[in-house]
Structure 1
Amino acid sequence: MRAVPTVQQAVHVRAPAKINLVLRVGAREPSGYHQLATVFQAVSLFEDVVASPAEEISTSTTGRWAEHVRDDESNLAYRAASLLAEASGTRTGVHLEITKRVPVAGGMAGGSADAAATLLACDLLWQTGLAREELGHLAAELGADVPFALTGGTAVGLGRGDVLTPALARGAYHWVLAISEQGLSTPEVFEEWDRLHPEYAEHPSIDDAVMAALISGDAHRLAEVLVNDLDAAAGNLAPGVERIQQVLADSPALATLVSGSGPTVAALAPDHPTAVEIAETVRAMDVADEVEVVTGPAPGARLLESVREDEG
């Protein structure tokens, strides 16, 4: 049973970044979206949101990637708070302090993590009493990756990626993330994919081998089924991706792939010491702006603490 803070408290919620273990892309629909079949895994790189009582909705962003974020009504966390206020009939505001650790436009759904954390934090702060399922419906209105940031773990995503089914996954997986300062626009990556596949009309699906690998808990088996259909498109738009992959190809990594629409490259390691070794290699070759060692699966958005404002 979750703790419900009083109105006088600030609420601290943490939500995870994600990587796509599998990302299969279908034909473009009249709506402009593509049908997707993906397997998400949440990883231990987190966004923090502290929601405090205020007269109006506002955001302030700090952290490694804060300079790339606009603190205005276009901020996905701001939009999440506004949507929840409208849905619940809440008339009070909130100030959202966002600490960014996930790269912006890096294919890891950092903005979606902010939105998911905001939905949970504001739900608790305002005591709207919405069920997780109801928050999930609001999350889907904000973006295809937001529902998964709420749930975390490992899940299959269909539709635009927002129709989620939890996946049975055993064990822990160790990843090295090679992150680029310059992000990629998701719509532009999909446009490039369309350019590369002008006649593509297949319906995407997830192979049984993927689910079997997850159930096995064996990183070597999982490495054999990792795939991202957007890999080439992202590489065309961000040439540094290919250089990172070349460096990782000469490392002990079991497999590499672009995360989501890129340009972050994720490398699967057999264990943590090897992941640290791979990360040191990538740093030494100076092919990425940031290198992180993370594990998955990680939990979804969750309450960390509630701090009374009068206690500082």
Structure 2
Amino acid sequence: MMREVTAIAHGKVNLHLGVGALRDDGYHELVSIFQSLELRDVVTLTEASPNTGVAGRVVELECATAGVPTDNTNLAWRAVDIVFGRSTQQPPAVRITLAKGIPTAGGMAGGSADAAAALIAANKILDNEFELGELLDIAADLGSDVPFTLVGGTALGTGRGEHLVPTLSKGTYHWALAFSRTGLATPAVFRKLDELDRTPHLDVTALSRALRTGNPHQVAPLLHNDMQAAALSLQPQLRTTLNTGMAAGALAGIVSGSGPTCAFLCEDARAAREVAAELSLSGNTAVTSGPARGAHLKGE
């Protein structure tokens, strides 16, 4: 009987994203507070027939969402290849199926979250051969957001985002999300950011203190994203989205990560639904909450 393992991937929002200087390795020094969201993808690994003759490899990736790579450039595919490649066992050949709920190229770490879920699923197929610390090392090699989407919750990220320290966050935060019809490539947003005359915002002391209160009214004015100006420059219509959400009753609105998804912190679940309803008149929306778990196996 062919085994099938399903894992849940959670998106994220940056409550703070401070972007420092460009480093010698081509990455920017970041200071970020991440929050994992209930918005999710589903990643399923299914053992392929032994007759494929390619044991220990991904043989196919299926995803119905346009714009998602279905070859070995997909981070989930790469994640499985790396885990299987480091195993002392003889892993089976597998097929990957992605069911997307997180927008593609939306600044919510959808691809990174899929990779984190794929790590969990591949490790399960290997009867949990690797400890979490080993999976985190692989996650950091895959991408800056993969380690956080693996652990979830609320965390301070430094370096290029891969060095994580849990951040105390009380209560539940409710979000309305507005998705853009056109994605933004993260490298393009960073290039635009480097063209701007700006001062990096790297201090998260006040936001960290506010999160300990569990009061969204105290958190809202402290949300910040250094990349927002660059994203707005590349997609000026996002200004209208932000203004619409605020006029509908959001406590604060920011571009999520590199964009173009706009995230609106709301007082409660009802307010989030009302803001999303107003935003839905001009595009796709969702309502979600956080903090959520990191990547995990379905049913666990």
Q: What range is the shorter-chain TM-score in? A: over 0.9
Indicate which of 250, 274, 277 corresponds to 1:277: 274
Are the aligned partners of 1:40 and 1:155 in contact in 2 as well (CA < 8 Å)? yes
Give distance in 1, aligned partners of 2:113 and 2:7: 10
CA distance in 2, matches of 1:194, 1:172: 35
Aligned residue for 2:264, secondary structure, equals strand
How far is the alpha carbon of 1:52 from its aligned partner? 1.3
Preserved contact between residue 58 and residue 72 of structure 1 (Cα < 8 Å): no
Say yes or no: does 1:299 pair with 2:299.
no
Distance 1:18 1:197 in 2: 28
**Is 2:67 the partner of 1:73?**
no
After alignment, is 236-245 or 267-276 more displaced?
236-245
* Alpha-carbon contact 1:16-1:298 (below 8 Å) kept: yes
Aligned equivalent of 1:20 = 14
Q: Tell me, yes or no, if the aligned pair for 2:16 and 2:204 is still in contact at 8 Å.
A: no
1:257-276: CA deviation from partner (whole Å, max 9, x where unpaired): 01000000000000011111
Trace 1:1-312 onto structure 2 (pairs within 5 A).
Answer: 8-54=2-48, 55=55, 56-63=57-64, 66-91=65-90, 92-197=92-197, 205-284=202-281, 286=282, 288=283, 290-305=284-299
State whether residues 61 and 77 of structure 2, in contact with CA within 8 Å, keep that contact through their aligned partners in structure 1. no
CA distance in 1, matches of 2:84, 2:61: 19
Residue 90 (structure 1) shift:
4.5
Give per-residue Cα distances to partners, 1:225-263, cap 9 Å, x unaligned: 100001110011112211101212312100010100000
CA gap of 1:251–1:33, structure 2 versus 1, over 3 A, is same
Distance 1:209 1:280, change over 3 A: same
Task: Write the distance in 1 (CA, Å) between the matches of 2:236 and 2:144.
Answer: 26
In 2, Cα distance between equivalents of 1:29 and 1:253: 36
Name the structure 2 match of 1:310: none
The superposition leaves residues 177-226 of structure 1 with CA deviations (integer Å, 9 ceiling, x where unpaired) of 0001211010110110000038x6x6x63321111111000000000210
The residue that corresponds to 1:4 in the other structure is none
User: Counterparts of 2:156 and 2:227 in 1: how far apart (Å)?
Assistant: 17
Partner residue of 1:3?
none
Instruction: Give the TM-score normalised by structure 1.
Output: 0.90
What CA distance in whole angstroms lies between the structure 2 residues aligned with 1:129 and 1:97? 22
Q: TM-score, normalised by structure 2?
A: 0.93
User: Gaps spanning 5+ residues in structure 2: where?
Assistant: 49-54
Letter in 2 for 1:269: C
Q: CA RMSD in A?
A: 1.6
Cα displacement string for residues 149-194 of structure 1 (whole angstroms, at most 9, x for unaligned residues): 1101100000000101111100000000000121101011011000
Equivalenced residues, count: 292
Give the Cα separation in 2 of the matches to 1:93 and 1:147.
25
Q: Return the offset for 1:305.
A: 4.5
Q: What is the letter of the counterpart of residue 69 of structure 1?
A: V
